Amino acid sequence: MEKLLLAAAVMSFFLQGCARTCTVRVNGFLEAGKAIRDGAAIYVAADANSPNPIFEKEIKGKIEQMLSQRGYSVAAGEELADYRLGFDFGVHRREVWGVQSYYGPDWFGYGGYRGSHYYGWYGAHIPYTEVYHDQWLSIRVSDTGRENAAAKGAVIWVGEAVTTRFSADMRETINYLLAAVFEYFGRDTKKRTRVKIEQSDPRITELTRYGY
Domain boundaries, the chain: 22-208
Using 50, 70 and 90 to split pLDDT, how confident is the model at 10?
very low
- Residues 89-141 have pLDDT tens digits of 999 988 776 777 766 666 555 555 555 555 555 666 777 678 889 999 999 99
- The larger pLDDT score, comparing residue 116 to residue 189, is at 189
Which range of 45-49, 141-145, 165-169 scores highest in mean pLDDT? It is: 141-145
Q: Does the structural domain 22-208 have CATH classification 3.30.450?
A: no
* The pLDDT of residue 40: 97
DSSP string, the chain: -HHHHHHHHHHHHHHHHTTTEEEEEEEEEE-TT----TT-EEEEE--TT-S-HHHHHHHHHHHHHHHHHTTPEEPSSGGG-SEEEEEEEEEEEEEEEEEEEEEEEEEEEE-TTTTEEEEEEEEEEEEEEEEEEEEEEEEEEEE--SS-GGGTT-EEEEEEEEEEES---GGGTHHHHHHHHHTTTT---SS-EEEEEETT-HHHHHHHTT--
- The larger pLDDT score, comparing residue 75 to residue 123, is at 75
